[in-house]
Structure 1
């Protein structure tokens, strides 16, 4: 996630996107991550999470992503949205316009295959993700009392 943020925002950790103030937190620390999610309501209307698969606790133990998002779900009074479809579901993020982890893996495998078959890595073009789609959790929408516009709802996949 850090590479994607750095590529787009550089060293900035605040931005204005489509009229909305966005503050970016990059951390691998469980307490920092959870505290940000749990107290975000004091400054923000929503939380948007990227990857949270590298988080460690105070004793440097790996924290399973489902455990982390479950804790945030229970304690955050404002909705949690996700960039990744694998983080959406019951007791997890409510949804959003997401990237498909499966499709990203397929794209990565294709790029690796080119290189393994002799294509010089310098000649492999940068590929932007085309896997975006709307995914929403029915229970998450109910939990945070979210209603989608008819246009978004008509394009969304609902889980649960």
Structure 2
């Protein structure tokens, strides 16, 4: 536990000096996307009803291999908790630093139903490309369908 306290103190000092931004004050609303040789990974986060956040994401791993899902998101410090809609209750606790959303290296088995082929959500990261809801609403999956839909 001592290591995390030291890192937290160092991080707090860096935030106080302005060397790094305080992720807790940066809204996750926006569009996150990474292009790579197997396709494009995209995540959108938009405001929902009653202050809740909604999201949609797609991670591509080549033809007929991808993961796709939508649901509700909520902040918890430097984490973004993604609760996917659907039967198996996939929940992923992602790291959020203001500039990127990074999924953990291991996700719940319930999340496998979101994926086709050998696709997996494990270790996928999404760098921010826009910080507004309008951009997030323009995010599309590889079929051209909206990742996040307005309510």
Larger-Rg structure: 1
**Higher RCO (Cα < 8 Å, 6 or more apart):** 2
TM, length-normalised to structure 2? 0.24
Structure holding more helix per residue: 1
TM-score by structure 1 length? 0.23
